Every structure is written in C-alpha cells, then in structure tokens.
C-alpha cells in the first residue's frame, strides 16, 4: 500500500532522477562524451560505454609486448579492394600512391610513401582483437598520426579525424584517439612492408580499440567538426551495418 510519505519520496526521487539525466546529457554533450551513433535504445549503451571509457582512459597506453610474443598466425579479414584504381597503384608498387590530408587544416597536403617514411617513426608490438573473437600480436611500424596532424596544422575546431580507404570501410576517430601516441599510420608490419591483406600501402593502427577501427588501404584523411554529413552521419561504416562506432568495448 502506498503511504503519503512513500508517494512523496518516490515523486521526489523520480524528479531528481529525471533532472539528473538531463544534466548528465548536457554535460556529456559539452565534453564530447556522446558518440555519433548515440541515438536510439542501443545508443544508450554506446553512450554509457564511450563516456565511461573516455573518462577513465585519458592518456592510458595500450599494452605492448616483446618480439618473442609476436603471433605466428595473423589472419586477414577480407580481400584488398578490387577497384581498378587500387589495383593499378598496387601493380606499380604504390609509387604513384598519395595520401591526401585535408579538411580543417591550415596546410592541406599530400604525402607519398617515401615522404611518410622520412618522418620520425614509431614501432610498437600490440595486441589486435577482431570483434569476431580471434586475436593476434604483431609489430607495427609507421608515423604517429599526431606528427602528421601537427605538420598540416589541424584546427582546434576539429572534433574528428575521418579515414577514407580505397574500399567502403570508412571510419573516424575522436581527437583523443587521433592525438594518442600509439595511433600510427602504419606502413610496416613485423619488420616488412605492410602486406596487401593487412592494408597496403598504409593503414591506421588504433591500439586501444578493436581491429575494425584500424582502417586499411588509406587514401585520404580529413579533419572535421562533425561527421553528420558523411555517409549516414553515424561516424563510420560500422554503425551502418550494425556495429558500434566506438570499439574500445
């Protein structure tokens, strides 16, 4: 039986809860804690996970391993793009390939593979897990994305860095992962040039997220303020086929 006191207490609790959620949503939006695919029922879970992990992972580094722990088996998911353009670049050993970097940057630029290899490099041995469940450890060599962002002078207005590959799997990172020291534009794997199946000539490696965030076969990188106008506006190809934009899990 509901007593008057209980009714008042419940009413106050409900009002406090509703106000609390509204305040939390405004704060989350101001601090960039709502992911581009944060709408709908599943979006509630996406937002809670993204916000919680952004708060606790600030500045944290993914685990790194020794050469002895590198996996003998490093499976490849999907084939290299079959487009005529990619096949032609691949046949020419990517000497004609260029990476375009534009969007909200002071100096829109284009880099050849040789240009990128002249920049200070970083090698790291990290664990990469596929959302399907399998995983491997490999050594990745490349330019930290932050170096390239500094070279082109990325604007303070930029909230995402978008990656356009030669296939359909475009994606984007927030600035926390874009500036992260372990986020590489990788051209080498296990001491050799990046194999075709692993994303030749250049892929991004995002150490603190699942494998599908590490876009292969890069063609263009753009800094943007909003991802609303790209694709379905959900931040990447993944949510368009039912997966999360943020994959720190």
For 74, residues 6+ apart whose C-beta sits below 8 A from its C-beta are: 136, 138, 189, 190, 198
Chain-centre distance for alpha carbon 212: 8
Examine residue 42 and tell whether it contacts another protein (CB under 8 A). yes
**Counting contacts by CB under 8 A, is residue 137 touching another protein?**
yes
Using CB under 8 A, which of 13, 15, 23, 44 touches another protein?
44
Q: Which of 2, 4, 41, 192 binds another protein (CB under 8 A)?
A: 41
User: Rule CB under 8 A: is residue 98 a binding residue for another protein?
Assistant: no
Q: Which one among 25, 32, 57, 197 touches another protein, defined by CB under 8 A? A: 57
Q: Is the Cβ of residue 169 or residue 244 nearer to another protein in the bound state?
A: 244
Quote the least distance from Cβ 31 to another protein, whole Å: 17
CA contacts within 13 A on the Cβ side of 23: 6
Q: Which of 25, 32, 34, 71 binds another protein (CB under 8 A)?
A: 71
Nearer to another protein, 54 or 216 (CB): 54
CB atoms within 10 A of CB 51: 20
Cis peptide before 15 (omega within 30 of 0): no
In this chain, which stretch among 56-64, 155-163, 185-193, 228-236 interacts with another protein, using CB under 8 A? 56-64
Q: Which is nearer to another protein, 63 or 118 (CB)?
A: 63
> Counting contacts by CB under 8 A, is residue 46 touching another protein?
yes
How distant, in Å, are the alpha carbons of 102, 114, 217 from that of 83? 23, 23, 12
197 binds another protein (CB under 8 A): no
Please return the burial class of 133, using the count of CB atoms within 10 Å of its CB with bins 0-12, 13-18 and 19+.
exposed
Q: Is the peptide bond before 72 cis (omega within 30 degrees of 0)?
A: no
What is the Cβ-side half-sphere exposure of residue 152, based on CA atoms within 13 angstroms? Answer: 24
Contact between 241 and another protein per CB under 8 A: yes
In degrees to the nearest 10, what's the CA dihedral of 115, 113, 122, 167? 140
29, 60, 85, 87: which one contacts another protein (CB under 8 A)?
A: 60
Residues binding another protein (CB under 8 A): 41-42, 44-46, 48-49, 53, 56-57, 60-63, 65, 69, 71-75, 127, 129-137, 207-210, 241-244, 248-249
């Amino acid at each position: 039986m509901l007593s008057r006191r209980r009714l008042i207490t419940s009413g106050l609790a409900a009002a406090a809860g509703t106000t609390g959620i509204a305040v939390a949503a405004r704060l989350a939006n101001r601090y960039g804690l709502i992911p581009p695919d944060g709408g709908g029922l599943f979006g509630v879970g996406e937002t809670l996970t993204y916000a919680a992990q952004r708060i606790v992972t600030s500045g944290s580094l993914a685990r790194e391993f020794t050469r002895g722990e590198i996996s003998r088996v490093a499976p490849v998911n999907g084939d290299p793009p079959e487009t005529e353009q990619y096949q032609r670049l691949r046949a020419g050993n990517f000497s004609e390939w260029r990476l375009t970097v534009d969007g909200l940057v002071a100096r829109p630029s284009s880099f050849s593979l040789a240009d990128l290899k002249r920049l200070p490099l970083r090698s790291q041995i990290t664990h990469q897990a596929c959302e399907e469940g399998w995983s491997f450890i490999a050594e990745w060599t490349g330019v930290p994305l932050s170096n390239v962002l500094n070279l082109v002078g990325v604007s303070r207005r930029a909230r995402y860095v978008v990656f356009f590959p030669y296939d359909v799997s475009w994606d984007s990172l927030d600035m926390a992962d874009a500036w992260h020291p372990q986020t590489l534009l990788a051209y080498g794997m296990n001491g050799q040039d990046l194999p075709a199946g692993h994303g030749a000539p250049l892929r991004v490696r995002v150490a603190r997220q699942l494998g599908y965030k590490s876009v292969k076969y890069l063609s263009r990188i753009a800094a943007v303020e909003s991802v609303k106008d790209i694709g379905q506006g959900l931040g990447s190809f993944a949510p368009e086929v039912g997966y999360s934009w943020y994959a720190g899990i």
